[in-house]
Chains A and B, each alone.
Chain A
C-alpha cells in the first residue's frame, strides 16, 4: 500500500505530468468551450467529435501543403466549422433529430478521414515550444501553463472571448434564451433556430481548432484514431462543469489530467496494467458523470427541438 502511495506521490510531483496534463486538457478545453456554447443554446452537439477529427485532418493536410502552423490551424477551424454547419442546418433548419444527425455526421467524418488518410496520407508536424517570459519561471504551474507550443496560448485568449460573447453581448443573451426558453425567445423576436445554428457553428470552429491543435501543437503526426472519443469526454466536461464556463474548464483539465496520468505512469517506470490505464479516462468520466449530473440545472430546453407553434 505504501508502495502505491509513494508511486502516486512520485507521479503527481513530476513536472512532466503537469505539462502533459495541461497539453491534453487544452485540447479538451477547445472542444469543451465550443460545446458549452452549443449546449447553452440548447443543443447536445454530438458532432463535436466529427469536428475534432475534421479539424485534425484539415490541420494536418494544410500544414503539409503550406508548412505553416497558422495556416494549418485556420484550415482546422474551417474544417471543424463545415462539419458543424452540416449538423446545425440538418437539426435546426430541417428539424431532423439532433442525435441522429450528430451520429451520422460523426460516421461520415470518420469514413472521410479513413479514406483521405489512405489516399493522401497527411503527415502533420509540431509547432515550436515558446516560453512566455517571466510567467514560465513560476515554479510547478509556470512551465506547465506557459512553456508550451504556441497554439496553446490561443486558448488563453479564447476563454475570455467566449465568456464575453456568452455573457456580455446581446447575441449571447439571445443564444442563452434560445436554450432556456425558446418559446419566450421566439415571441420576443429572437430567431431561435438561427441562434442555435450559430452556437453549434461557433462550437464547431473551436473544436476544429482543437483538432488542429492536437496534431500541430501536441502529437505532431496525424492518425485516424487520434481523437478516439475525446469529443464525448468534452461533452462530459460541460456536464461536469454544470454548464458554467469555469466548471467546464475545470472538467477539461481534470479529464486531461487522467489522460496525462495514463501516459506518465509507464514513463516513470511503474508497471500498471496497460488496459486499466487506457480505460482510466473513460471510466473516470463515467464515474464523475454518475455523481455530478443531477446536481446542476441544465439549460431547460437542452436537446429539445424548436418548431414555432409546437411544444
Chain B
C-alpha cells in the first residue's frame, strides 16, 4: 500500500506506475479526454468542425515552414516563468504576479539597450542580468510585505501586476524615460525605441527553422533548477520549507530569508523571461503596454500542469507555446483564437483532478486497513 506523504500544495504525489498504475493512467486519460471533449464541444457550438480547427493548430504550431522555430521562441519565456514558479511553489509560496515581473524585466532590458551606448554583447548580457534583478526586486516587494507584515503574496503579487502595467505605460509615454525619440516616429507612437540589432539574442538555423539561443539557455535553466532542488542543500531547505514550515524552522531554515529568496528567484526568472523576450525581438523589440501578452499567466499554468517538476515543464511549455502559435492560423477556420485560452485552462483544471482523487483513494484504503487491524 502506498504510504505517500499527504499532498502538500504543489508537491502532489505523481502516480506510481507500479502500484495501481493502470488506475492512475485511466484517471488521467478520462480527465484529459473530458477536457478535450468539452473544448471540441465549444468549437462545435459555434458551428465549426473541430478537426479542421485541430488541423489549423497543428499547421500553425509545427507543420508550416518555419513554425516550430517560432513555437520554440514562444516557449522560451514561458519555460523561464514556469521554472521560477516551480522554485516558489516548492518553497510554499505562490507568486502569481509573473506578468508584472516580466514587464519590469523587459523595462530594464529596454533601458539598457536603448539608452546606453556600448558593445552589443555587453549591453545584451547586462540587460538580461538587470532584467532578472528588476523582476526579482519587484517580487521582493511582495516578499517584504509577506515576511514583515504577513500580507499573503497571492494577493500582493497580483495587485503589483496592475501597477506594473501603469509603470510601463508611464515609461513609454515619457520622453526622458523610454519613449521613442526618433523624429520620424508616428505622431502617436507610444512605444519604446526598438532594441538595436546588436543587442539581440542570436539565432541558429536548424533544419530550416530559426531557433533562438534563448531556448537552449532556458533548457539549461530547467536542468539547473532540477539539480538545485533535488541535489543541493539550498534546494533541500526550500523543499523542506514548502512541505512543512514548522519542521523547517526547527531545523534552522529561516522562514523569512529562505522564503524571500524563493520569491526573489521566482520574480527574477520572470524578469529574465521579459528581458529575453525583448532581446529575441518580441513585438518588434519595442516595449509596449501589451508587451507581456499573457506570457506570465501561461508560465504559471505550465508550472501547475507540470506539477512543479522542472524537467516536465519543458514539454508542457512547448505544448502551450504550440497552442499559442497554432492559434495564429485559426483565423481561416472562423473560430476565434481565444478558444486556445479555454483549452489550456480546461487542460490544467482536468489535470488537477487525478492526483486529488488518488489522494482520497489512498486515504480511504488507509482508514479501511486501520479498521481491519483494530482489536475487536
Spell out A's residues near B (CB within 8 Å).
44, 46, 86, 90, 94-97, 99-101, 103-105, 107-108, 110-112, 114-115, 118-119, 228-229, 232-233, 235-236, 239, 273-276, 278-279, 282-283, 285-286, 289-291, 293-294, 303, 307, 309-310
Q: Does B167 contact A (CB under 8 A)?
A: yes
With A97-B10, A118-B336, A278-B166 known as contacts, the answer to whether A46 contacts B149 (CB < 8 A) is no
Tell me the minimal C-beta distance from A194 to chain B in angstroms. Answer: 15
Q: A104-B345, A276-B166 are in contact. List 10 more A-B contacts (CB 8 A).
A: A86-B349, A94-B357, A100-B9, A107-B341, A108-B349, A114-B341, A229-B158, A229-B161, A275-B167, A303-B152
With A95-B359, A275-B170 known as contacts, the answer to whether A101 contacts B352 (CB < 8 A) is yes
Q: Which residues from chain A contact B304 at a C-beta distance below 8 Å? A: 100, 103-104
Q: Which residues from chain A contact B149 at a C-beta distance below 8 Å? A: 289-291, 293-294
Contact size range, B = 35 or more
Tell me the minimal C-beta distance from B370 to chain A in angstroms. Answer: 9
**Interchain residue pairs with CB less than 8 A apart (6):** A96-B355, A99-B94, A104-B348, A108-B342, A115-B341, A236-B155
Q: Which residues from chain B contact A119 at a C-beta distance below 8 Å? A: 46, 336
Q: Which of A115, A278, A286 contacts B338 (CB 8 A)?
A: A115
Q: Does B132 contact A (CB under 8 A)?
A: no
Q: Does B7 contact A (CB under 8 A)?
A: yes
**Cβ-defined contact, B346 with A232, below 8 A:** no
**Cβ-defined contact, B145 with A107, below 8 A:** no
**Cβ-defined contact, B163 with A108, below 8 A:** no
In the complex, chain B residues 140-176 whose Cβ is within 8 Å of any chain A Cβ = 145, 149-152, 154-156, 158-163, 166-167, 169-170, 173
Q: Which residues from chain A contact B345 at a C-beta distance below 8 Å? A: 104, 107-108, 110-111
**Cβ-defined contact, A233 with B159, below 8 A:** yes
Pairs A-B, 9 closest by C-beta atoms: A111-B341, A108-B345, A94-B356, A279-B166, A118-B336, A114-B338, A275-B170, A97-B9, A275-B166
Q: Does B258 contact A (CB under 8 A)?
A: no
Tell me the minimal C-beta distance from A84 to chain B in angstroms. Answer: 14
Q: Which residues from chain A contact B145 at a C-beta distance below 8 Å? A: 286, 289-290
**Cβ-defined contact, A99 with B154, below 8 A:** yes
**Cβ-defined contact, B6 with A310, below 8 A:** yes
Q: Which residues from chain A contact B94 at a C-beta distance below 8 Å? A: 99, 103
Q: Which residues from chain A contact B6 at a C-beta distance below 8 Å? A: 307, 310
Q: Mark B346-370, 1 if CB is under 8 A from A, else 0.
A: 1011001101110110010001000
Q: Complex: how many Å from CA A45 to CA B160?
A: 19
B94, B154, B170, most chain A CB atoms within 10 A: B154
Q: Does B201 contact A (CB under 8 A)?
A: no
Q: Which of A108, A114, A273, A303 contacts B346 (CB 8 A)?
A: A108
With A104-B345, A275-B170, A289-B145 known as contacts, the answer to whether A96 contacts B338 (CB < 8 A) is no
Which single residue of chain A is at the shortest CB-CB distance from B42?
A115
With A282-B162, A293-B150 known as contacts, the answer to whether A111 contacts B155 (CB < 8 A) is no
With A276-B166, A289-B155 known as contacts, the answer to whether A111 contacts B9 (CB < 8 A) is no
With A44-B154, A119-B46 known as contacts, the answer to whether A103 contacts B162 (CB < 8 A) is no
With A99-B154, A107-B344, A286-B145 known as contacts, the answer to whether A276 contacts B170 (CB < 8 A) is yes
Q: Does B199 contact A (CB under 8 A)?
A: no
Q: Which residues from chain A contact B352 at a C-beta distance below 8 Å? A: 90, 94, 96, 100-101, 104
B9, B339, B345, most chain A CB atoms within 10 A: B345
Q: Which residues from chain A contact B342 at a C-beta distance below 8 Å? A: 108, 111-112, 115
**Cβ-defined contact, A111 with B356, below 8 A:** no
Q: Does B297 contact A (CB under 8 A)?
A: yes
Q: Complex: how many Å from CA A89 to CA B257?
A: 35
Q: Complex: how many Å from CA A97 to CA B367?
A: 22
Q: Complex: how many Å from CA A233 to CA B159?
A: 8
Q: Complex: how many Å from CA A279 to CA B161?
A: 10
**Cβ-defined contact, B163 with A99, below 8 A:** no
Which single residue of chain B is at the shortest CB-CB distance from A310?
B6
Tell me the minimal C-beta distance from B11 to chain A in angstroms. Answer: 10
Q: Which of B156, B162, B336, B349 contacts A104 (CB 8 A)?
A: B349
Q: Mark B273-313, 1 if CB is under 8 A from A, else 0.
A: 00000000000000000000000010011001000000000
Q: Complex: how many Å from CA A291 to CA B363?
A: 42
**Cβ-defined contact, B348 with A283, below 8 A:** no
Q: Which of B170, B348, B357, B359 contacts A273 (CB 8 A)?
A: B170
Q: Complex: how many Å from CA A101 to CA B12?
A: 13
Q: Which residues from chain A contact B301 at a C-beta distance below 8 Å? A: 103-104, 107
Q: Complex: how many Å from CA A101 to CA B170?
A: 34
Which single residue of chain A is at the shortest CB-CB distance from B343?
A111
A100, A235, A273, A293, most chain B CB atoms within 10 A: A100
**Cβ-defined contact, B353 with A94, below 8 A:** yes
**Cβ-defined contact, A232 with B356, below 8 A:** no
Q: Complex: how many Å from CA A278 to CA B164?
A: 11
Which single residue of chain A is at the shortest CB-CB distance from B340?
A111
Q: Does B86 contact A (CB under 8 A)?
A: no
Q: Complex: how many Å from CA A275 to CA B164?
A: 10
Q: Which residues from chain A contact B218 at a C-beta distance below 8 Å? A: none
Q: Which residues from chain B contact A294 at a C-beta distance below 8 Å? A: 149-150
Q: Which residues from chain A contact B360 at a C-beta distance below 8 Å? A: 94-95
Tell me the minimal C-beta distance from A267 to chain B in angstroms. Answer: 19
Q: Does B91 contact A (CB under 8 A)?
A: no
Q: Complex: how many Å from CA A11 to CA B214?
A: 51
**Cβ-defined contact, B9 with A99, below 8 A:** yes
Q: Does B74 contact A (CB under 8 A)?
A: no
Tell me the minimal C-beta distance from B290 to chain A in angstroms. Answer: 12
**Cβ-defined contact, A307 with B170, below 8 A:** no
Tell me the minimal C-beta distance from A121 to chain B in angstroms. Answer: 11
**Cβ-defined contact, B10 with A44, below 8 A:** no
Tell me the minimal C-beta distance from B319 to chain A in angstroms. Answer: 15
Q: Which residues from chain B contact A112 at a C-beta distance below 8 Å? A: 342
